[in-house]
Amino acid sequence: MGIVVQKFGGTSVADAVKIRKAAQRAIDAAKKGNNVVVVASARGKQTDHLIADAMELNSNPPRREMDQLLSTGEQQTVSLMAIAMHGMGQKAVSMTGGQIGMRTDSVFSKARIQSIDAKKIHAEFDKGNIVIVAGFQGIDENGNTTTLGRGGSDTSAVALAAALKADVCEIYTDVDGIYTADPRVYKKAIKMKQISYDEILELASLGAGVMHGRSIEFGKKYDVTIHVRSSLVDIEGTLITHEVPQMEGILVSGATSQKNLAKIGLIGVENTPGTAAKIFAHLAGAKVSVNDIIQTEVSKEKANLSFTVGNSDLLDAKTAIEELKSSIKYDKIFIREDIAEISVVGVGMRSHYGVANKMFDALAKAKVNIDSITTSEIRISCIVDEDQAETALIAVCDAFELDKPAEKRSK
Ligand code: ASP
Ligand code: MG
Q: Is 375 within the bounds of a domain?
A: no
Q: Is the CB of residue 135 below 6 angstroms from any atom belonging to ligand 1? A: yes
In 3D space, the residue among 227, 229, 225, 226 whose CA is nearest the CA of residue 176 turns out to be 229
Q: 213-222 vs 153-164: helix axis angle to the nearest 10?
A: 10
User: What ligand has the least distance to the C-alpha of 175?
Assistant: 2
Sheet containing 113-116: give its strands across. 113-116, 102-104, 137-139, 145-147
pLDDT at residue 248, rounded to an integer: 80
Q: Is 386 within the bounds of a domain?
A: no
User: What ligand has the least distance to the C-alpha of 136?
Assistant: 1
Sheet containing 194-196: give its strands across. 92-95, 130-134, 35-40, 3-8, 168-173, 226-230, 238-241, 194-196
Q: Is 138 within the bounds of a domain?
A: yes
| Residues with pLDDT less than 50, the chain | none
Nearest atom in ligand 1 to 154's CA:
8
Range of the domain at 146: 3-174
CA 23 to chain CA centroid, nearest Å: 25
Q: Is the CB of residue 75 below 6 angstroms from any atom belonging to ligand 1? A: no
In 3D space, the residue among 188, 187, 192 whose CA is nearest the CA of residue 176 turns out to be 192
Q: Is 166 within the bounds of a domain?
A: yes
Q: Give burial (CB, 10 Å; 0-12/13-18/19+) of 329.
A: middle
Ramachandran area for residue 397 (φ above 0: left; ψ -120 to 50: alpha; else beta):
alpha
In 3D space, the residue among 216, 105, 115 whose CA is nearest the CA of residue 160 turns out to be 115
Residue 113: HSE in the Cβ half-sphere, 13 Å Cα cutoff:
29
- For residue 320, the CA-to-ligand 1 centroid distance in Å is 31
Q: Is 409 within the bounds of a domain?
A: no
- For residue 60, the CA-to-ligand 2 centroid distance in Å is 25
Q: Is 279 within the bounds of a domain?
A: no
CA pair distance 71, 385, nearest whole angstrom: 41
Q: Is 161 within the bounds of a domain?
A: yes
CA 40 to chain CA centroid, nearest Å: 17
The DSSP result for 367-403, as a single string, is: TPPP-EEEEETTEEEEEEEGGGHHHHHHHHHHHTTTT
What is the identity of the amino acid at 346? G
CA pair distance 177, 194, nearest whole angstrom: 10
Other Cβ atoms less than 10 A from the Cβ of 342: the count is: 28
Query: Which residues make up the environment of ion ligand 2, defined by Cβ < 5 Å?
Result: 9, 151
Non-local CB neighbours of 278 within 8 Å, separated by 6+ positions: 324, 327, 328
Q: Is the CB of residue 110 below 6 angstroms from any atom belonging to ligand 1? A: no
Residues 139-191 pLDDT 10s: 999 999 999 999 999 999 999 999 999 999 999 998 899 999 999 999 999 99
User: What ligand has the least distance to the C-alpha of 157?
Assistant: 1
CATH number at 159 reads 3.40.1160.10
Q: Is 11 within the bounds of a domain?
A: yes
Domain count, the chain: 1
- For residue 305, the CA-to-ligand 2 centroid distance in Å is 35
pLDDT at residue 207, rounded to an integer: 67
pLDDT at residue 11, rounded to an integer: 94
CA pair distance 106, 206, nearest whole angstrom: 28
Other Cβ atoms less than 10 A from the Cβ of 411: the count is: 11
The DSSP result for 152-190, as a single string, is: THHHHHHHHHHHHT-SEEEEEESSSS-BSS-TTTSTT--
Which protein residue has the closest C-alpha to ligand 1 atom 6? 151
Nearest atom in ligand 1 to 48's CA:
4
The contacts found for 353-357 with CB under 8 angstroms, 24 or more apart, are: 355/251, 355/252, 355/380, 356/380
Contact status, residue 177 vs residue 11, Cβ threshold 8 Å: no
